[in-house]
Amino acid sequence: MYKIYPRILCWRRQHTPKLFQIMKLITVLLIATIMQTSASTLAQTITYKQNNVSLEVFFKEIRQQTGYSVFWSSDAIKSRKLDVDFKNAPLTDVMEKCLQGQGLTYTIADQTIVIREKEKSFLDQLITRIRAIEVSGRVLDESGHPLVGATVSVLKVEGTPPPLDGKTVTDFSLIYKGRNAAALTDSNGSFLLKNVDENSVIIISYTGYKLYQVKAAKNLGNIKMVMEAGSLQEVNVMVNTGYLSIARERSAGSIAKPDMQVLKNRSGSMNIIQRLDGLVPGLTINNAPNSTGSSILVRGLTSINGSKNPLYVVNGIPVDDISSVNPNDVEDITVLKDATAASIWGARAANGVIVILTKKGKNSEKIKLDYDAFINFQGKPDLNYLPVLTSGQFIQAAREIFDPVINTWATVSRANSGNAVIAPHELIMYNQSRGIITKEQADMQLGALADYNNLREIKNLWYRNASLMNHTFSLSGGGNKYSFYGSAAYTDTRNNTPYNRNENYGLNLRQDYKFSDRLQLYLITDLRNNITSSKQPNSARPDARFLPYVPFTNTDGTNASMPWLYRTDELRNTYENQSLVSLNYNPLDDLDYGNNKGNLLYGRLTSGLTMKLLSGLRYEGVFGISKTLDKTSTLLDEKSFAVRNELVAFTVAPKTAGALPSYYLPSSGGKHTVNNNQQQNWTLRNQLVYDREWLNGKHQLTLLAGQEAQELFSNTNASVVRGYNSQLLSYGAIDYNLLSKLTTLNNGAPAAGSGVVYYGVPVFPNSSSYSILPPDQYSESELTTRFTSYYANGGYTYNKKYTVNGSWRLDKSNLFGKDKSAQSKPVWSAGVSWAVGKESFMENIGWLDKLVLRTTYGLAGNSPDPGSAASFDVLSKISSLFFQNTNGVAISTPGNKKLSWETTKTTNLGIDFAVLKNRINGSIDLYNKNTENLIGFTPVNPFTGYANITGNLGSMNNKGVELSLTTLNIQQEDFSWTTLFNFAYNKNKITKLNTLKTLNGISSPLSLADDFISQPYLEGYSAFSIFAYQFAGLDKLGDPQIRLKDGTVTKTPGSAKIEDLKYMGTYQPVWSGGFSNVFQYKSVSLSLNTIYNLGNVMRRDVNTVYTNTRLVPGVGSLTSGNINSEFADRWKNPGDELLTNIPSYVNAGATSTGRRNVSYYTVSDINVLDASYIKLRDVTLAFSLPKSLLFRLKVAELTFRAQVSNIVLWTANKSGIDPEFQNALGGQVAGGARTMPFNQHTMTLGAHLTL
CATH code for the domain in which residue 152 is found: 2.60.40.10
Cβ(316)–Cβ(608) under 8 Å?
A: yes
Cβ(835)–Cβ(801) under 8 Å?
A: yes
Name the region of 36 (left: φ>0; alpha: ψ -120 to 50; beta: rest): alpha
Q: Which residues contact 1038 (CB under 8 A, 6 or more apart)?
A: 1130, 1131, 1132, 1136, 1137, 1143, 1144, 1146
Give tens-digit pLDDT for 1119-1169.
889 999 999 999 999 999 999 999 999 876 655 557 889 999 999 999 999
For 1013-1024, give the secondary structure using H, E and C: CCCCCCCCCCCC
The answer on 213 and 150 residing in a single domain is yes
What is the sign, positive or negative, of the torsion defined by CA atoms of 1130, 1133, 1134, 1136?
A: negative
**Residue 1147 belongs to domain spanning:** 1025-1063+1099-1168
Count: domains in the chain = 4
Q: What pLDDT is attached to residue 60?
A: 79
* pLDDT bracket for residue 58 (50, 70, 90): confident
* pLDDT bracket for residue 883 (50, 70, 90): low
Degrees (nearest 5) of the Cα angle 1093, 356, 321?
75
Residue 703: name the closest of 98, 1110, 173, 244 by CA.
Answer: 244
Cα–chain center distance at 144: 25
Residue 66: name the closest of 54, 48, 85, 84 by CA.
Answer: 48
The answer on 65 and 13 residing in a single domain is no
- Would residue 1034 count as lying in a domain? yes
Give tens-digit pLDDT for 395-405.
999 999 998 98
Q: Which residue has the higher pLDDT, 173 or 994?
A: 994
- Would residue 149 count as lying in a domain? yes
CA distances from 1049 to 356, 1031, 1045 (A): 58, 9, 9
Count of alpha carbons within 13 angstroms of residue 82, beta-carbon side = 20
Cβ(549)–Cβ(425) under 8 Å?
A: yes
- Residue 1146's SS3 state is strand
Query: 1127, 1152, 1168 — which closes off a domain?
Result: 1168
Cβ(1150)–Cβ(1163) under 8 Å?
A: no
Helix (H) / strand (E) containing 645: helix 641-649
Q: Which residue has the higher pLDDT, 156 or 832?
A: 832
d(CA 878, CA 1037): 52
Cβ(477)–Cβ(484) under 8 Å?
A: yes
CB atoms within 10 A of CB 862: 24
The yes-or-no verdict on residue 677 having pLDDT over 60 is yes
Give tens-digit pLDDT for 307-325.
788 999 999 999 888 888 9
Residue 73: name the closest of 8, 12, 15, 156 by CA.
Answer: 156
The yes-or-no verdict on residue 205 having pLDDT over 60 is yes
d(CA 442, CA 109): 104
Helix (H) / strand (E) containing 993: strand 975-993
The answer on 6 and 141 residing in a single domain is no
For 661-679, give the secondary structure using H, E and C: CEECCCCCCEEEEEEEEEE
- Would residue 454 count as lying in a domain? no
Beta strand 1168-1170 with 1071-1081 is unpaired
Q: Write b or e for each residue in 1048-1086: b if 16 or more Cβ atoms lie within 10 A of its Cβ, otherwise e.
A: eebbebeebebebbbebbbbbbbbbbbbbbbbbeeeebe
The answer on 1147 and 1049 residing in a single domain is yes
Q: Give backbone dihedrals phi and psi of 30, rounded to 5 degrees, phi first.
A: -65, -45
Q: Which residues contact 1161 (CB under 8 A, 6 or more apart)?
A: 1031, 1040, 1102, 1141, 1142, 1143, 1167
Can you tell me the mean pLDDT for 109-133?
66
The answer on 1157 and 1116 residing in a single domain is yes
What is the sign, positive or negative, of the torsion defined by CA atoms of 765, 766, 767, 768?
A: positive
- Would residue 714 count as lying in a domain? no
Q: Give backbone dihedrals phi and psi of 879, rounded to 5 degrees, phi first.
A: -120, 140
Residue 734: name the closest of 723, 742, 726 by CA.
Answer: 723
Beta strand 1084-1094 with 1173-1184 is antiparallel
The yes-or-no verdict on residue 9 having pLDDT over 80 is no
**What is the CATH number for 69?**
3.55.50.30
Degrees (nearest 5) of the Cα angle 591, 595, 598?
145
The DSSP string of 332-370 is EEEEE-SHHHHGGGGGG-TT-EEEEEE----TTEEEEEE
* pLDDT bracket for residue 756 (50, 70, 90): very low
Cβ(354)–Cβ(311) under 8 Å?
A: yes
Residue 815: name the closest of 862, 876, 871, 893 by CA.
Answer: 871
What dihedral do alpha carbons 632, 635, 640, 642 form, nearest 10°?
A: 60
* Helices then strands, each counted (H, E), the chain: 22, 61
The yes-or-no verdict on residue 1189 having pLDDT over 90 is no
The answer on 139 and 78 residing in a single domain is no
Q: Which residue has the higher pLDDT, 138 or 926?
A: 926
Which of 193-202, 343-352, 877-886, 1043-1052 bottoms out in mean pLDDT, i.e. has the lowest?
877-886
Which of 55-64, 232-241, 584-593 bottoms out in mean pLDDT, i.e. has the lowest?
232-241
Cβ(1240)–Cβ(1206) under 8 Å?
A: yes
Cβ(1093)–Cβ(1170) under 8 Å?
A: no
Q: Which residues contact 12 (CB under 8 A, 6 or more apart)?
A: none
Q: What pLDDT is attached to residue 157?
A: 57
Cβ(211)–Cβ(179) under 8 Å?
A: no
- Residue 389's SS3 state is coil
The yes-or-no verdict on residue 750 having pLDDT over 60 is no
Beta strands in 734-886 (DSSP E): 778-798, 802-813, 827-835, 848-862, 874-878
- Would residue 755 count as lying in a domain? no
d(CA 653, CA 660): 8
Q: What pLDDT is attached to residue 226?
A: 80
The answer on 1164 and 1035 residing in a single domain is yes
Q: What pLDDT is attached to residue 3?
A: 33
Cβ(594)–Cβ(619) under 8 Å?
A: no
The answer on 154 and 176 residing in a single domain is yes
Query: 117, 141, 166 — which closes off a domain?
Result: 117
Q: What pLDDT is attached to residue 424?
A: 96
Give tens-digit pLDDT for 430-460.
999 999 999 999 999 999 999 999 999 999 9
The average confidence (pLDDT) of the chain is 83
Give tens-digit pLDDT for 957-971.
999 999 999 999 998
Can you tell me the mean pLDDT for 138-159?
74
Say which DSSP state 1145 is in. Answer: P
* pLDDT bracket for residue 744 (50, 70, 90): very low
Share of the chain above pLDDT 70, in %: 82
Cβ(701)–Cβ(795) under 8 Å?
A: yes
Give tens-digit pLDDT for 829-851.
999 999 999 999 998 898 999 99
The answer on 1163 and 1038 residing in a single domain is yes
Helix (H) / strand (E) containing 822: helix 820-823
637 beta partners = none
- Would residue 77 count as lying in a domain? yes
Looking at this protein, which amino acid is placed at residue 322? I
The answer on 138 and 50 residing in a single domain is no
Query: 117, 136, 158 — which closes off a domain?
Result: 117
The DSSP string of 89-109 is EEHHHHHHHHHTTTTEEEEEE
The answer on 193 and 145 residing in a single domain is yes
The answer on 1141 and 1030 residing in a single domain is yes
- Would residue 163 count as lying in a domain? yes
Cβ(929)–Cβ(991) under 8 Å?
A: no
- Would residue 937 count as lying in a domain? no
CA distances from 690 to 282, 359, 801 (A): 33, 25, 20
Cβ(1103)–Cβ(1122) under 8 Å?
A: no
Say which DSSP state 498 is in. Answer: T
* pLDDT bracket for residue 152 (50, 70, 90): confident
d(CA 525, CA 523): 7
First to last CA, the chain: 87
